[in-house]
Structure 1
Amino acid sequence: MTTDLPRGRAARSRRRLHAPLPAAAFAVLLGLSYATPVHAAVAEEEPPQLTVAAASRGVLQTGSSLTATLTITNPADEPLEGSSARLQLGRTPLADRDALHDWLEGPDPEVELTPVGSGPADDIAPGETDTVGITVAADHTALAGLQPGVYPLRAQYGEASADTVVVVPQAAAQPVGLVMPITAPVADRGLLDADRLAQLTGTDGVLTAQLDAAAGSEAILAIDPAIPAAIRALGETAPVSAVQWLDRLMLAPNDRFALQFGDADVAAQLQAGLTAPLQPLSLEGYLPPEPAEPDPTPTPTESPASTGDEDQDGLDLDELLDIGDDPGSVYWPVPGHATAAVIDGLHAADPEAVTLTPSTATAQGAELAGVAAAGVTAGGGAALVYDGSASAALDEVAKARDEGERATAAAAAAAELWFAGRDVGGAPVLVALDRATPALAAAADETTGEAPVDLEAQLDEALDVVTLSSAVEAQSLSDLLDAQRRRIAPAENAPSDVRTTFVKEIGDSEQRVAHTATVLETPDVLTGLVRAEALQALGVGWEQRADEWQDALGAFRQRTRERANAVGIQDPTPVNLVSAGADLPVWVRNDLPYPVTVTLHADPQDLRLDVADEKTVTIQPSSSTTVQMPVEARVGSGNVDIELTLLSPTGEVIGPRQTVEVAVRADWERIGIGILVVLVVGLIGTGIVRTILRRRRTTAAAARETDPDDAPEAQDAGDAPDADAPDGADAAVTDPQKTETHPDA
């Protein structure tokens, strides 16, 4: 480094620069030692939380005072000093829904606001909440001359602020219909069992909360018929709470329509190529077993035919699925998938069909514009169009846990309805709660079926936005169906490949199981299970739960394989046939929970073996049995294959054919019998000879004892005189040593 200063001046300059360094270093160290306490002293406190709700869910009738409630929460660790809360109102209405959303999502500095009132707030302890009510008199200049519209409203407390809206309605009430689903959490079986029903219909159950909220309202109920069917199918074994819930449902005065069984998606079915939606086949497989009769002996009046007729009367499918006064033919596909082809396809299958679809899935409502409730496609398909944006706002009301949040969401929903009514010019508007919202999106515990303690309040508030609003005239289902229809152009959304693929699988699954079901007295018992489970797997509720849905589909496919292969011949083992005739044992299994009737057919592949053609047996549920097939060997020996086939009463081949190898050794039996005969004859002959000889010896010994002098020295039974010889004739001498020849011989 070089410098232009003289050497002396440079040295003095360096000394002047170095002189203050110790003092500066000390100052720095001293400052570091106090840095942390100073920083802590200036730490900012957490600001208060503020919400605001206008009275009457934000609806302000002309000539009425405006009342707003401010809720202030202190989240800090220090007390919040009392201050004044202020209320400001914008006198220029919001132009459209976009402006509404912008206002509610954050402060908009371009909106001109007018102070309309204030109120004092007390000191608030840490973690506590205080409320401040502010009322603006009806004759306040800020309220004078307000025309129908949606106006911005802001509350401030210190640095905190909260925004909401006030709705000034039209002079005539807006006709609005509200659809509320009555659905259970998604299931992977055809019907809910008794334990699940007890949970869902208990005091804190999801179904109970839904029905309690709907009671006394003018909501149109969209009911999954699988719920009442599950309760009725259980009969006397149904939980008491479920029976009471069903009684309340049937007595409720609300208009209603039935969803498809299991709330299945009809759009995917038509997009997969079906000409009409699938319907349940039979629910008999879900009925509990009948109790055993005390006296098993049948009486003359208890014939099988009469018992079957009585049972069938109790198993009427329409009665199981009954939901009350249902107009029928109302369908609700997955939102956004009701294309023109789907709506027109339903109309072609059923001229009375009406399809629910959101306005956001139509060309008319694509830009958040309102669409009249009654619509019709160019192809003549009828539709009920519910306002997508207003419905989403109602869903937010139902989801909100906090009372203040619910009130704010309710005001936003009332504003959405005002815009929808303005767009349709007084025609009826329809809104609908999402099927996932009432029970599941409210964070219900699906493992137990228990709902949050405030679920009923959440649903009540959502319904009250429509049914208790002074700006709304609630519409019945018949009012909506009879309204003047306006042309709509449904959006052409691409179908769900996963759903349509599964729909195509359903037909194949049912055919495979139906083939096996022919072994049953009532095949629909088994095929009905498959259809019910398939419809449940198509439930709309799975739309937001893709991972769990894939697991449910895998379980369905596994059950299909098990049912299709539930009856069959077990793998046979080779058999040795060493006799001319015997019974060939064949094991047949039945993995179904029902008795089955099958015919075992045997076909020998060689003339050396003769087998009974077939034998019919009944196999009890979940068991195996042995079928004894008579077998007879003809001529010769060798290995013979017998092909075994299991047939249903209708002649269908059940399970794979099996082949059993029989080693025929029929000649061994003949040879063995011959040897045995020879042995037996030899033994018998030897025994006879020995017996005769023994008797002769015994006789000779007895003679010697009687006359020892006359008895020859050695005589056996063969030396006795001939009884036929004449008197005085000489007897032949048997001993050769004593035999003499007569002189005259």
Structure 2
Amino acid sequence: MVAESSTARRPALPSAASSRWSHLRVPVSALLIGILAGLLPLASSGFVPGAPIATAVAATATPTPAPTADATAAEPVTVTVAPVSLAPLRSGEDLAVTVRITNDSSDTITPGTIEVYLAERALTSRSALTAWLHPTKVGKPGDLMLRSELPAAIPPSGTASVAITVPASDVGLTSGNAWGARGISATITEDGSVLAQGRGTFVWYSNEVVTPVGLSVVMPITVPEQNTGLIPAKSLETYTAPGGRLTRQLDGVINRDVTLAIDPMIIASIRILGNAAPPSSLAWLKRLSEARNDIFPLGYADADLTLQSQAASGKLLAPISFDQSINASDFASPTPTPPASIPAPTPTPTTTGSAPAGLVNTAATPAATPETPTPTPTPTPTTAPGTPPTSEQLLAWNYTATDVGWPATGTVAAADLDTFTAAGLSSLILGGANTAQSDLTETPNANVVLAGGHGNALVTDEPISAALRAAATATTDTDWQVAMAELSSHIAVVSAERPATARTLLATFDRDTVPGGARLSETLAALASLGWRAPASLATARAASPATDVSFQSQAVSGIRIEKARSLLEREREVTSFSTALSTPLAITAAQRLTTLALLSTSWARDTEAWSEAVDASLVDSTALLSSISVSTKGPINVVGSQVDIPITLDNALAQAVTVKVQVVPSNGRLIVSGDVIEATIEASSARTVKVPVTAAVGNGAVTLRITLFTPDGSIVGQPAHIPINVRADWEGLGSLIFATLLVLFFGFGIWRNVQRRRRERTAILPTADGPADGPADGPTDDPTDEPTDIPAEPPVVPRG
């Protein structure tokens, strides 16, 4: 293998090269073929001395898992190129680069030719840098620096990484070239046809005095989406175990120049468990309290600020209380000291080169970038043994700032600013989509003043943030080198724009892809080594001179998410109204608020379908809660009197007593309800019967009683119950008449029988004067009605002597 080079001239690709892009040897149909799942390793390496100058070229084919993305969206062959070191290249130094060729086609790439080019012009603006790294169409790759043969064939789904060193004489840059970002490109050709081209950058330095760019970095400390507002102990144990999500996050940023934006739910979830908290979570919380990083709080559960505002909540929500979730037995004895057996791992920074002498203009370094102060450690709130903590103690933390809001990127509307200001958020972190700017030739400070007295905003530098995130989540060394080279070049371009003026920018990690562990530490260590970057705190960024050519631009959350959020917030209002009937309202209002905050978390935005299902499930649960006080009387009930008391049974399924008012309204005038509403107290998990006095008016027929329950303050409880009534209002009078008639007949018949019987008795004892017409003279008559006409004389009284 022969490496060709020429310092006299660097010819570009032949004019016919551009036409070769449409005649790739890989057929277009290969784009429709799925990526092979098998891995075909290729291992070969070699050292070939160049012809007058030694050029080391090492090629290693490494197996690459088949991507999960649709093959039709991927290029069949891709090339990436990046410098091996982040140290700036000086005059007389060789340029060491890594070229990686990935073959996602169905054909084997036979040993071809790698060509490395230098961009014809320096990348002196952000737009030029972006256009070079992400061209909209294939353009001229630059001046040829070196041509080398690919050591071995690359099979389908194979990857080859080639280390190439370009001699300083072939680079062709001298001390007369201004410092700054330079573009490089690499192509892979086969049989004279260009298969693919990749582009990268490096930083050239030629002894200028450089003004470093202040870069403030913010990292969110959050957990995946939750259905409730407290993280379960089992999940905390997983997140804070070695290699867990929270552990990896903290390992990568602790005691570095990174501001932490933490979800207070994490702190409260650990503290509320008391002695039952996993030891790993207590150790994690202790490490956080001892960290030197600046820290500010996100909204509780990282609830989406703009979603709350635009869903017409009118305010930003916060927890009401944690008393309902505290188990007093977990605080029966003092909380044990977290074990010292889980020390913070010591990150091992990758040596990426240090700033050369004379590179940094210390006089021009931003004056407001002092070393990160060491905050006073925040101990766990102390309480008397056996005394559970208060809600304030669960959330207490020694934050560096509490007036910073971080809405979801590109979702803030103009009307939201009033809501944020009312909530005490005087400084916002905004994505670039929420800003409008004129054509700027230079990069302004991140600080922007918001009109209308809404404080200021810190605008995230999107290209720098994207490169930082890519580096921190890179899965291969080459990917990391590519991302860090882009990050380094962006900062260098900003520094070179105005050599004597300090600027302070903001870069953020996002919530969707959370980096952590060794790669995050490696990224931050490499960033700290750049001589044209100076660490800056969030306070420094807020104090920087405001950008005058950048203004706020209103955006909005999607309508689907807003409608779902409105239903969630409306349900919370219903639960709050319902709670006034309870003896202890906080038991349900506080729990409902935590659930609402959890479901409004920004983390749900990445999966709208799953979020919609979670919201629907919550609405079902809260519907059951609102139906826990009900009327169990079903009917029908027969009313047969003019005035009766109708029994109505009320059920209480809650674990506490409730007080309700009962209102009964008939559907028509056949019944009249006497008196006002009835107030009743129902004990926990029990039922009570109340009697409603009613009066039957006129007529018979069907009546429906609508039973409505109200809280003491007048809010309706559940849905009204309807009880059918059959009214027979005249049965009472008719029954009395029938009874009186029967009584008269009964007594009348008795009197008549008695009269007839006595007549018969008289006739039998005293016959008439003419003698009996028939029968014996002394016998009684047969006619019972005959009355005796003669009454025998009383016998004479004979004196006793």
TM-score (norm 2): 0.61
Summarize the Cα distance change of 1:608–1:476 in structure 2 as closer, same or farther, 3 Å threshold: closer
1:70 aligned partner: 98
Summarize the Cα distance change of 1:432–1:607 in structure 2 as closer, same or farther, 3 Å threshold: closer
Summarize the Cα distance change of 1:371–1:386 in structure 2 as closer, same or farther, 3 Å threshold: farther
CA contact (8 A) 1:53 1:411 kept: yes
2:528 aligned partner: 467
Aligned equivalents of 2:429 and 2:130: distance in 1? 25
1:371 aligned partner: 444
2:143 aligned partner: 113
Q: Secondary structure at the match of 2:502?
A: coil
2:584 aligned partner: 522
State the AA in 1 paired with 2:173. Answer: A
* Structure 1 residue 476 corresponds to structure 2 residue 537: yes
Aligned equivalents of 2:240 and 2:169: distance in 1? 47
CA contact (8 A) 1:179 1:221 kept: yes
Deviation at 1:376, TM superposition (A): 0.4
* Structure 1 residue 427 corresponds to structure 2 residue 479: no
CA contact (8 A) 1:258 1:323 kept: no
Aligned equivalents of 2:631 and 2:528: distance in 1? 64
Aligned equivalents of 1:52 and 1:204: distance in 2? 31
Aligned equivalents of 2:410 and 2:152: distance in 1? 51
Summarize the Cα distance change of 1:532–1:610 in structure 2 as closer, same or farther, 3 Å threshold: closer
Structure 2 counterparts to residues 138-153 of structure 1, below 5 A: 141-153=172-184
Q: Secondary structure at the match of 2:261?
A: strand
Q: Secondary structure at the match of 1:552?
A: helix
Q: CA RMSD in A?
A: 4.9
1:417 aligned partner: 491
CA contact (8 A) 2:450 2:456 kept: yes
Aligned equivalents of 2:433 and 2:269: distance in 1? 35
CA contact (8 A) 2:460 2:507 kept: yes
Aligned equivalents of 1:656 and 1:249: distance in 2? 49
Structure 2 counterparts to residues 48-197 of structure 1, below 5 A: 51-56=80-85, 58-60=86-88, 62=90, 65=93, 67-70=95-98, 87-90=116-119, 92-105=121-134, 109-113=139-143, 115=145, 131-132=162-163, 134=165, 136=167, 141-155=172-186, 162-168=198-204, 171-197=210-236
Q: Secondary structure at the match of 1:434?
A: coil
Summarize the Cα distance change of 1:596–1:367 in structure 2 as closer, same or farther, 3 Å threshold: farther
Deviation at 1:362, TM superposition (A): 1.8
* Structure 1 residue 400 corresponds to structure 2 residue 451: no
Aligned equivalents of 2:78 and 2:561: distance in 1? 45
Aligned equivalents of 1:226 and 1:612: distance in 2? 44
2:428 aligned partner: 355
1:543 to 605, 608, 633: 605
Summarize the Cα distance change of 1:260–1:371 in structure 2 as closer, same or farther, 3 Å threshold: farther
CA contact (8 A) 2:84 2:98 kept: no
Deviation at 1:474, TM superposition (A): 0.9
CA contact (8 A) 2:657 2:681 kept: no
Aligned equivalents of 1:114 and 1:189: distance in 2? 60
Q: Answer with 72-81 or 193-202: which moved more.
A: 72-81
Deviation at 1:408, TM superposition (A): 0.4
Structure 2 counterparts to residues 15-26 of structure 1, below 5 A: none
Aligned equivalents of 2:439 and 2:600: distance in 1? 27
Aligned equivalents of 2:580 and 2:203: distance in 1? 65
Partner deviation per Cα, 1:101-147 (whole Å, 9 max, x = no partner): 3332469653532527x899866897685653527569975353332
Q: Which has the higher helix share?
A: 1
* Structure 1 residue 207 corresponds to structure 2 residue 268: no
CA contact (8 A) 1:119 1:132 kept: no
Partner deviation per Cα, 1:11-37 (whole Å, 9 max, x = no partner): xxxxxxxxxxxxxxxxxxxxxxxxxxx
State the AA in 1 paired with 2:125. Answer: D
CA contact (8 A) 1:200 1:206 kept: yes
Aligned equivalents of 2:221 and 2:284: distance in 1? 12
Aligned equivalents of 2:682 and 2:213: distance in 1? 70
Equivalenced residues, count: 589
Summarize the Cα distance change of 1:581–1:178 in structure 2 as closer, same or farther, 3 Å threshold: same
Partner deviation per Cα, 1:72-109 (whole Å, 9 max, x = no partner): 56869999999997654346312433432333246965
Aligned equivalents of 1:102 and 1:386: distance in 2? 20
Summarize the Cα distance change of 1:254–1:60 in structure 2 as closer, same or farther, 3 Å threshold: same
Q: Secondary structure at the match of 2:683?
A: strand
Aligned equivalents of 1:501 and 1:246: distance in 2? 37
Deviation at 1:176, TM superposition (A): 0.6
Partner deviation per Cα, 1:634-692 (whole Å, 9 max, x = no partner): 99xx9999886656566755334546669999999xx9xxxxxxxxxxxxxxxxxxxxx
CA contact (8 A) 1:343 1:383 kept: no
State the AA in 2 paired with 1:173. Answer: P
Q: Secondary structure at the match of 1:486?
A: coil
CA contact (8 A) 1:565 1:655 kept: yes
State the AA in 1 paired with 2:683. Answer: T
Structure 2 counterparts to residues 250-649 of structure 1, below 5 A: 250-272=289-311, 276-288=315-327, 314=388, 316-343=390-417, 346-347=420-421, 349-350=423-424, 353-364=426-437, 370-380=443-453, 381-422=455-496, 425-438=501-514, 456-464=517-525, 466-487=527-548, 488-494=550-556, 496-502=558-564, 504-573=566-635, 586-590=649-653, 592=654, 594-598=655-659, 615-620=680-685, 625-628=686-689, 648=711
Q: Secondary structure at the match of 2:121?
A: coil
CA contact (8 A) 1:65 1:135 kept: no
**Percent identity for Structure 1 against Structure 2:** 25
Q: Secondary structure at the match of 2:658?
A: strand
Q: Secondary structure at the match of 1:221?
A: strand
Q: Secondary structure at the match of 2:503?
A: coil
Deviation at 1:217, TM superposition (A): 2.2
Q: Secondary structure at the match of 1:100?
A: helix
Deviation at 1:212, TM superposition (A): 1.8
Deviation at 1:401, TM superposition (A): 2.2
CA contact (8 A) 1:219 1:467 kept: no
Aligned equivalents of 2:665 and 2:450: distance in 1? 66
State the AA in 2 paired with 1:329. Answer: D
State the AA in 1 paired with 2:505. Answer: V
Q: Secondary structure at the match of 1:654?
A: strand
CA contact (8 A) 1:570 1:589 kept: no
CA contact (8 A) 1:89 1:114 kept: yes
Deviation at 1:372, TM superposition (A): 0.9
2:49 aligned partner: none
Deviation at 1:398, TM superposition (A): 3.6
Deviation at 1:199, TM superposition (A): 3.2
Summarize the Cα distance change of 1:521–1:460 in structure 2 as closer, same or farther, 3 Å threshold: farther
Q: Which runs of 5+ in 1 are unaligned?
A: 1-44, 294-308, 440-454, 672-745
Partner deviation per Cα, 1:403-427 (whole Å, 9 max, x = no partner): 2112101211222233344557422
TM-score (norm 1): 0.66
Aligned equivalents of 2:108 and 2:249: distance in 1? 41
CA contact (8 A) 1:356 1:383 kept: yes
Summarize the Cα distance change of 1:419–1:363 in structure 2 as closer, same or farther, 3 Å threshold: farther
Q: Secondary structure at the match of 1:619?
A: coil
State the AA in 1 paired with 2:185. Answer: R
Deviation at 1:221, TM superposition (A): 1.1
Aligned equivalents of 1:138 and 1:433: distance in 2? 40
CA contact (8 A) 1:600 1:644 kept: no
